[in-house]
Amino acid sequence: MKRKSTARAFTLSFFLLILSFLIPSPLAGNSFAATRSTVDILAVGDDLVHSSVYRAHRTKKGYDFTPIYKMVKEDIREADLAVINQETILVDKDYSNYPRFGSPKAVADAIAAVGFDIVTHATNHTLDRGVENVLGTLNYWREQYPEITVLGIHKNKKEANKITVVEKNGIRIAMLNYTYGLNGHKVPRGKEYLVDLLNDKKKVRSDIRRAKEISDFVMVFPHWGSEYVYKANSFQRSWAELFLEEGVDVVIGAHPHVVQPYRMMHRKDGHRMLVYYSLGNFVSGQSRVPRMLGGMAKLTLIKDSKGARIGSYTLVPIINHIGARKKSFTVYKLSDYTEALAAKHDIHRLSPREKFSLAEMKKLFKKITGKDA
């Protein structure tokens, strides 16, 4: 009887062993899935803090800019990495407007509070308030929000020569930020490291090649283009071709203060590069209708057994809503905006000869991008 039981047990064990080879294990499936990583990126355009913007957000204790972002806060926080172009430099006092901006450091507090991870600072306004305030801005970020990555400005030559790589979900993303110029200001001799300029093709090529060696993806954030023009100019197109040639994966532009098209570019060997020529304004005190429309780039980077590649991507239209007599500023996704809100926009007072409505903004977005809002 004992021998028969042993034989049956052996037969059953053998059967279960064979079955284990034939039926896929759930754990094996999870192991395969674990080799696939993704990073969802959100990027917005110019945080252009005019005097009307900081006056509207004055409080008894100082300044509070967080209400500006309340309607898009969830989108920002849902992203694995959220990027903002901080157009204006931050100062401790003597806040100033165009053409030499200087914004309260509370702007940085709001950017951090809402959930942005990366701030681009190489803009044509970087030197508006001198070297000391560039360094002051950088120090404030580092001392108060060391978890936030700041691009485009540097404390010294050693830091400027280092390629910034942000790692998220096991994916390494090299990030570069350059500006076409500095509104006539010149970087003092010996301090060329202070801000990254888009004026030396040899250096930029070198930066990209070094970035590719230490990352899975390379992203470039150029401050470029013609202001208030809906199409990329020759400068933008020329640099985009160089970026493509060198193997950049994503380009996200700023500066024109209006939305420009986005597209996927292809190299002959099959390499693809996603380029957003301009995301337009995120926030500003400007007073023309087209400058109220901005874009929120959303894209997914994928890394798996097949390699690294761009997944889905889109541009979400947004509106910089200005309350009556510039008493408030709020960013809305166009999908959350209404004709009732549009009727209350202060742009009707600021620029009465221009048409502004939800329907007009949808029409403009399609005119520029070719996409439905």
Report the DSSP beta bridge partners of residue 174. 165, 218
Residue 239: Cβ within 10 Å count? 23
Residue 263's alpha-carbon distances to 22, 310, 321, 364, in angstroms, are 46, 12, 27, 18
Which pLDDT belongs to residue 160?
A: 98
CA pair distance 84, 70, nearest whole angstrom: 15
Cβ-Cβ contacts under 8 Å for 202 (sequence gap 6 or more): none
Query: Rounded to whole angstroms, how far apart are CA atoms 340 and 266?
Result: 43
Amino acid residing at 167: E
Nearest to 102 by CA among 154, 152, 54: 54
Instruction: Give the pLDDT confidence score for residue 35 in this predicted structure.
Output: 87
| pLDDT score for 8 | 53
> What is the pLDDT, as a whole number, of residue 1?
46
191 dihedral zone (left: phi>0; alpha: psi -120 to 50; beta)? alpha
- What is the spatial distance between Cα 202 and Cα 4, in angstroms, rounded to a whole number? 81
pLDDT for 29 equals 44
pTM of the model: 0.91
Domains contained in the chain, CATH given: 32-369 (3.60.21.10)
Q: Taking the CB of residue 83, how many other CB atoms lie within 10 A of it?
A: 26
Query: And the tokens for 320?
Result: 């910089």
227: left (phi over 0), alpha (psi -120 to 50) or beta: beta
Q: Which of 174, 278, 195 is nearest to 236 (CA)?
A: 278
How many Å apart are CA 109 and CA 54, to the nearest integer? 13
Distance of CA 363 to the CA centre of its chain: 24
Mean pLDDT by 10 residues, the chain (373 residues): 47 49 46 76 98 98 97 98 98 97 98 98 98 98 98 98 98 98 96 97 98 98 98 98 98 98 97 98 98 98 96 98 98 98 98 98 98 95
Q: What is the pLDDT at residue 34?
A: 56
Q: What is the pLDDT of residue 13?
A: 52
* Cα–Cα dist 153/365, whole Å: 32
